[in-house]
Each structure stands twice: as structure tokens, then as C-alpha cells.
Structure 1
Amino acid sequence: MALDGVVRSLTALHRACLYRYGAPLLALITLAGSLLKASQPLADSYFSNRRNALNVYFVKFSWGWTVGLLFPFIFTSNYFLQRDVLFAVRRVTSCLVGTGVWFLSTRTFHIIENFTGECYESQNMTVLHELDNLYTCKKNGHIWLGFDISGHSFLLSYCVLIMTEEIAVMNELHKVEQKPGKAIATIIKSLFIALNALLLLWIWMFFCTAVYFHDMPHKIIGTAFGISAWYGTYRFWYKKPFSPGLPPETGNKKE
């Protein structure tokens, strides 16, 4: 089937590239894109406009799009491999952990920006000392300038890395002797293809952020937050007993 061929090709490409080199690739994109922006800014384009459709309808809701596809994929694929509902439910709690990471990180970024900034009058850029926090400053139509860690660099890098971890399970699904029913197989494969399309979109928009927006320190720290959040969960905590756990391997499949 054509669907099977697409899935197998994507699985092989994923295992050979992103699963092994995802974090270094994202770090390289941030560094190279930031250097390009600082030394020889690219000409304005559709993607340099913050109001472009991909940014407005996808990136601004990137966590919702990511979880919306990951949740059913994790449950169906993990349940098929382990034949254990409780295991599948435990694994989808990784989406709750990720939501907590996203919320706490973005709140931290706002606190840092508020603590390090000042309010400037929007016309002549004089400092307005009476407006001493980000929220009242912007509410009154002025400009707040603080250390603005790139939320896009953080969230897009984090989404790319956790999606890469979860869709790697397709490599195990190809190995099992007992195939899922036609309906569930179609669901898993369709979700896998959709996740790969979303993954490609996140990488592209991450690149656009690197070459068009924010200053270098803002993007580097944002990306560092994303990589650290992924590493702390999937490469450390999820290996512990009291955690959502890692995606299953066929060697761990229950009889």
C-alpha cells in the first residue's frame, strides 16, 4: 500500500536523522540563523511578517497542535505494543508533564522580561517610571523593553524533540509479528504522517524565528530551555519508575 510505503520511508528517515541529531540540529539552526541575522539580515519576506498565516494559526497554538496529535498517537501506538490500558494511560500523562513544562517556562520568561525591563513612551521613547510593570505599560499603549527570551525558540524546539521521541515507536511497530486491525493501523499511520508534517512545519518556523526575529541571546537561551526540558524528562526522569515512562520497545511487550 502507498500509505505503508510513506510510513516506512518516514520511519527510516526519522531514525537516521532527527532521532539521533535533533538537539544538535536545533542548536545549529539557532546559532547559524542568529549569526546570519546579526551579520547580513535577510530581505523581508512573507515569513518575516509576524502576521503570516502559519505563525498566526499554527505557531501561536503550537502546543495545542502538538498535544492534539500526540495524545491519540501515544495512546493507540503504546496500547498496541503493550496491550495494557494502564500503561497507555500512564504514557499519555507525558502530555500533562509537557503542558506543565510549557506553562512554567513561559511564566518564567514573562517574569524575567518584567523584572529586567522598563516602560517607554511609544512616540518619543522616554522612560515612564510610573508604569513599572509590563502589563500596565502595554495596557496603556506603550512599549516595554526587557530581556525577552524567545518563547518560539523554546516551544518549537521542545515540541520537535518530544515529537521525535514519541514517533520513534513506529520503528518498533514494524517489527511486531501481530499486526493491528485495519482500522487501528490506519489511525496510527495517519497520525504518524500528520505528526511528521507538523514536525516539518515546526522546524521550518523555528528556522524563520532564528533568521528573522529576536536577538541572539534571546534565541539561544530559549532553545537551551527547550533542549533542557526535553533532556530532563525523556533522557533522565522518564527512565525512573515513578514517571510517565518511555515509549515501549517490542522486547518489553507483555504476553
Structure 2
Amino acid sequence: MDLKAEDSSTGLASDISLQKLQRMAAELTLPGRFIVRLLNAALEFVTNLLAGVLGSSLVRRHFHLMLSGLVLFGPLLSFWVSKYSIFANSNHYLYRKFLKSTWGWTCTLTGSFVLLLSLSARHPPSLALRHLSRVGLVGLLWWGCRRLLTLLEDAAGTCYEPMAVAQDAQSPASPAQPLLLLHEDQTKASCLRANMLWRGYEVSQDVLILCLCCLLLVEEMCVFGRHLARGKPLQRSPGAPLRLVFLLCAVLLVVWLFLLLCLLAYFPSFPAQQLGGALGYLGWRGLYQGWYRLRPSWGCPGLPGDGLFTTTDTDKQPQ
């Protein structure tokens, strides 16, 4: 009898201790759950706001005009900016880490957004691959433009090696003009690596890719508002990963616009930057305003959102 009573008392004590541990664990995780819910609510609010702005007709129809005005009149800011600013240094962190890998950042985040959006819309993988092909075609366009511009610059430019002139002792004290020794067998890249002088016509590839990436991001992100409107009647909200990638794409768009403004204001180069912006605009115009609007029989991947948002889904109400 004593052994049974002792066993029952120890079992009761162990149950009480487990209950205490569970209550303590719940109390410890309660602040964490509150923080997660608060962050999730903030993420939903910000992404809903950005989706409404980017999906508005004002942005979709006139963003390219705003970008064209920025490229045309941005160099005028060079009269007001300070040459001692940290952004006037070409070795700044933003230029080294972001400007040289503009397409890599854009391809990664935009491709992730398009893929998650297609999967969230619950469509077959073939449709997701078709929408992803738009990003690949823009990358192919950028690669072709870069190769073509490099060939044109090498053909139209010349490389010179500055050579200092020995100043005569009887001549007046004036700075001697350096002589230029012509190197005909040098390309632009090899000439600049050798610390020589390159002269010729050029097109700003940095402005080209920045304008192209900005237009690409706006085109792909503007359909997120339609995705939110599609899920509202079904009481189905997009997951946090899709919202987070959308927010990162919006932040990346702001970074590209800021870098473009810095290049135009601190490193003005007329008309090389304007030619680069014009080529980026023509590339976007030919793809998103031309080829992507054709019928699928022409092999085009379609516009963003084609086939993802059907009216049959939005008409269904939750049971």
C-alpha cells in the first residue's frame, strides 16, 4: 500500500511539473508570437500599399515618361550637387556592389517573384516557365546589346598613350602639353587597363541596364495588385514569402532609381548617358509593348499576368 501511494504521488508531481513547464514555455513564446504577428501585419500593410501604387494606371502608363525625363534632365543636377559628397566617389560601396551586378540582382529577385506568383496562383509549372522566359529574354537582350556596343566602341575609338614633353630651360614657365602616342591594336578594355587614354564615341551601358531593369521591375510587379484582388473574394491572402520578395523587388527598384540619379548628377556624360537610356527604352518598348502583346502562335511568352488570373476563380465564393 505504501509503495502504491508513493508511486501515485510521484506520478502526480511529475504531471504538475510538466504542466508548469508547458505554461512557462507558452509564456516565453507569447512575446515572440506577438512580434511575428506584428511584423506580418506590417508586411501586409506595406505590400498592399505598394501593390496599389505600382498597379495604378498612373504608374503603369507614365513610368517610362518619368524615367525619360530623369535621364534627360538629371545631368542638370550637377550644378547643385557637391563634388565632395560620398556619392561623388566612383569607388563607393553602392557602385562597387550593386552597379556592377545590376542584372544579377534584378534577375534573381524578379525571377523569384514571378515564380512564387505563378505557384501561388496554383497553375501548372509550364505556365510558370513561360512567364519566367520573359526575364530570360530581357537578359538575352542585355547580353546582345553589351556585346554590340563593345564592338562598336572598339571600332570607333582610338587608344593614346600620354608622353610628357621635356621643357626647355629658355622657354617661359608654362605647363608642357603631353604628346599622345597612338596605339591602333588596343581595345577599350585593354587600353584602360594599361592606364592609357581612350577617345571615341560611346554609349553608357550603366544607364542602359539601369533603365531596362527599372522598366522590367515595374512591368512584372504591377500585377501583384491583381493577385491580391483575386484572392480577396476567396479569403485567401498571399503567403509571407511572396510578399517579402515583392517588398525586396520594390526596394531594389528604389535603389536602381537612386543609382541612376547619382550617375546623372555626379558623373554627367552627354550624350552617352542619354543614348544608353534611349536604348534601354527601345528594348523595353520592343518586348513589352510589341512582341509580348502578340498571340502565342508567334512564340511570345505573353504579358505579366496572362493566364494567371482567371474569372472563374474570382467568381467562386468560399463555402
TM-score in terms of structure 1 length:
0.90
* 1:164 equivalent in alignment to 2:253: no
- CA offsets per residue over residues 10-43 of structure 1, 9 Å max, x none? 1122234532322111111111112444xx3632
Corresponding residue to 2:194 among 119, 135, 140: 140
- CA offsets per residue over residues 33-78 of structure 1, 9 Å max, x none? 12444xx363211112111101110111010000110111101112
Does the aligned pair in 1 maintain the 2:162–2:181 contact within 8 Å? no
What are the equivalent positions in structure 2 for 1:49-68 lying under 5 Å apart?
A: 49-68=89-108
Q: Please give the alpha-carbon distance, in whole angstroms, between the structure 1 residues aligned to 2:179 and 2:61.
A: 47
Q: Which residue of 1 aligns with 2:262?
A: 208
Corresponding residue to 1:188 among 242, 257, 271: 242
Corresponding residue to 1:42 among 63, 81, 84: 81
Pick which of 79-88 and 105-114 moved more: 79-88
> How far 1:253 moved relative to its partner?
5.9
* 1:88 equivalent in alignment to 2:88: no
- CA offsets per residue over residues 155-186 of structure 1, 9 Å max, x none? 000000011000111111111134657xx611
Does the aligned pair in 2 maintain the 1:119–1:142 contact within 8 Å? yes
Change in Cα spacing, 1:244 to 1:194, as seen in structure 2 (3 Å) is same
* 1:7 equivalent in alignment to 2:47: yes
Change in Cα spacing, 1:222 to 1:168, as seen in structure 2 (3 Å) is same
Q: Please give the alpha-carbon distance, in whole angstroms, between the structure 1 residues aligned to 2:112 and 2:149.
A: 30
Change in Cα spacing, 1:254 to 1:228, as seen in structure 2 (3 Å) is farther
* 1:218 equivalent in alignment to 2:275: no
AA in 2 matched with 1:43: S
Corresponding residue to 2:207 among 153, 162, 184: 153
Corresponding residue to 2:60 among 19, 39, 52: 19
Identity of aligned residues (%): 26
Q: Please give the alpha-carbon distance, in whole angstroms, between the structure 2 residues aligned to 1:179 and 1:83.
A: 18
Q: Please give the alpha-carbon distance, in whole angstroms, between the structure 2 residues aligned to 1:253 and 1:94.
A: 24
Q: 2:304 aligns to what SS in structure 1? A: coil
> How far 1:234 moved relative to its partner?
0.9
* Structure (1 or 2) with the larger CA radius of gyration: 2
Corresponding residue to 1:244 among 272, 296, 301: 301
Q: Please give the alpha-carbon distance, in whole angstroms, between the structure 1 residues aligned to 2:193 and 2:309.
A: 57
Does the aligned pair in 2 maintain the 1:70–1:195 contact within 8 Å? yes
Change in Cα spacing, 1:165 to 1:147, as seen in structure 2 (3 Å) is same
Change in Cα spacing, 1:135 to 1:3, as seen in structure 2 (3 Å) is closer
Change in Cα spacing, 1:158 to 1:134, as seen in structure 2 (3 Å) is same
Corresponding residue to 1:30 among 67, 71, 79: 71
Q: Please, which runs of 5 or more residues in structure 2 have no aligned partner? A: 1-40, 164-177, 314-319
Pick which of 125-134 and 25-34 moved more: 125-134
Count of aligned pairs between the two proteins: 251
Change in Cα spacing, 1:60 to 1:110, as seen in structure 2 (3 Å) is same
Does the aligned pair in 1 maintain the 2:134–2:301 contact within 8 Å? yes
Does the aligned pair in 2 maintain the 1:131–1:137 contact within 8 Å? no
Q: Please, which runs of 5 or more residues in structure 1 have no aligned partner? A: none
Q: Which residue of 2 aligns with 1:79?
A: 119
Change in Cα spacing, 1:245 to 1:51, as seen in structure 2 (3 Å) is same
TM-score in terms of structure 2 length:
0.73
Please tell me the root mean square deviation across aligned C-alpha atoms, in Å. Answer: 2.1
Q: Please give the alpha-carbon distance, in whole angstroms, between the structure 2 residues aligned to 1:74 and 1:231.
A: 20
> How far 1:148 moved relative to its partner?
2.1
Does the aligned pair in 2 maintain the 1:35–1:216 contact within 8 Å? no
Does the aligned pair in 2 maintain the 1:82–1:253 contact within 8 Å? no
